Structures are given as C-alpha cells and as structure tokens.
Amino acid sequence: MSDIRSKITFIVSAALYLFFNLRLGADAGTTLTATGWQILQTAPYVAGVTYIIIALLQSMAGGKKLPWDRRLRLFFAIGIMAGLVFGIYEYGGVDVTGGK
C-alpha cells in the first residue's frame, strides 16, 4: 500500500463493509449494538471463506504469500456480500431475533 490511491480505496472498502453491515435502531446505542451483533454473526463465516480463497490463490501462485492489504480487501468484499444477503434476508420479514 505505497501510493495514496490504494490507501483511499482500502479505506473506502472498509467503510463499505461497515455500511453494508449497518443495522439501524431507534437510537445510537441500539444501532451500535445491532451492527456489532451483525458483524459478530457473519465474521466467522466471512473469515472462513476468505481463508479458503486465500489458500487457493496462494497455491495457484506457487506458494507466494498475499500481502495483508489484499487479504483484508478480500475479507471486506466477501463481508459486503454477506452483509447484503443477510440484510435482505433480515429486512424481508424473517425474524432473526428468535421472538414470536
């Protein structure tokens, strides 16, 4: 991440990850709690899929390691897709809280 453009796109990727996992509540505390819970629910799956993709990419590259920023960009991209799918599922009327 040497040039300014790559730093900006990295920050934008992180911001989009947070935006797609944002869950709105009645107040700021509820929003932070719901967003944190959303990230905690999806992060293990996203990390697992990212790990598999990184392992495949490294094996195809002959064992050459991916830089840390590329690994995080993959995590953010997969996390954005997971947040979008889970958000559509959640806002589609399915109760994910376990209430009646």
Tokens of 40: 């905690």
pLDDT tens-place string over residues 37-86: 989 999 999 999 999 999 999 999 888 898 999 999 999 999 999 999 98
Q: Does position 36 have pLDDT exceeding 60, yes or no?
A: yes
Mean pLDDT of the chain: 89
Packing angle, helices 68-91 and 28-60, rounded to 10: 130
Determine the pLDDT at residue 94: 67
Distance from C-alpha of 7 to C-alpha of 50, rounded to nearest angstrom: 21
> In the 3-class helix/strand/coil scheme, how is the chain assigned residue by residue?
CCCHHHHHHHHHHHHHHHHHCCCCCCCHHHHHHHHHHHHHHHHHHHHHHHHHHHHHHHHHCCCCCCCHHHHHHHHHHHHHHHHHHHHHHHHCCCCCCCCC
Q: Over 60: is that where the pLDDT of 13 sits? A: yes
Task: Enumerate the domain spans of the chain.
Answer: 4-91
